[in-house]
């Protein structure tokens, strides 16, 4: 069953393959980042038909942000191949969004906290 929110390790245990990023929002004077995504949850979480769910991925106290995406001829929302979550200790995480195909590249940063908020099924 899909919950309305996932916190910390609950988020890192989820799959985000083929989800798309639609916007990046800087919050709290640029300390936090929120990404609006269409999330394709794993089938085992679904009670009904599969489909995209509008969601917010929130990262608190972000540092070391690097964005490197090569669109070439592609236009549109980048599709996530994988998100790697690495626990760094001292309640910090390293997060790497991997994009393969079109576009290619990655977004990486460190943060203190991770959460996923479910908005609405599309």
The percent of residues above 90 in pLDDT, for the chain, comes to: 61
Long-range contacts, stretch 91-98, CB < 8 angstroms, 24+ apart: 93/12, 95/59, 97/21
Looking at residue 50, its pLDDT comes to 61
Q: Where are the domains of the chain?
A: 5-121
User: What's the pLDDT at 119?
Assistant: 82
Record the tokens describing residue 36, joined without a space: 């609006």
Handedness of CA 120, 108, 79, 17 (dihedral sign): negative
What are the structure tokens assigned to 26, written together?
Answer: 């800087």
How many angstroms separate the CA atoms of 31 and 62, rounded?
Answer: 6
**Beta pairing partners, 67:** 107
H/E stretch holding 33: strand 32-39
- For the cut 60, the answer to whether the pLDDT of residue 1 exceeds it is no
What end-to-end distance do the CA atoms of the chain give, in Å?
Answer: 17
Write out pLDDT tens, residues 68-104: 998 888 788 888 999 999 999 899 999 999 998 778 8
Nearest to 10, CA basis, from 115, 119, 84: 115
């Amino acid at each position: 069953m899909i919950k309305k929110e996932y916190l910390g390790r609950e988020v890192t245990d989820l799959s985000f393959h083929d989800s798309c990023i639609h916007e990046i929002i800087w919050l709290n004077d640029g300390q936090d980042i929120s990404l609006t995504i269409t999330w394709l949850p794993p089938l085992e979480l679904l009670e009904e038909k599969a489909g995209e769910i509008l969601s917010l991925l929130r990262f608190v106290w972000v540092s070391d942000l690097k964005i490197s995406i090569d669109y070439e001829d592609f236009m549109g929302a980048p599709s996530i191949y994988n998100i790697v979550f690495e626990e760094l200790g001292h309640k910090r995480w390293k997060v790497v969004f991997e994009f393969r195909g079109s576009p290619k590249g990655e977004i990486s940063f460190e943060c203190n906290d991770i959460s996923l908020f479910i908005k609405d099924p599309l």
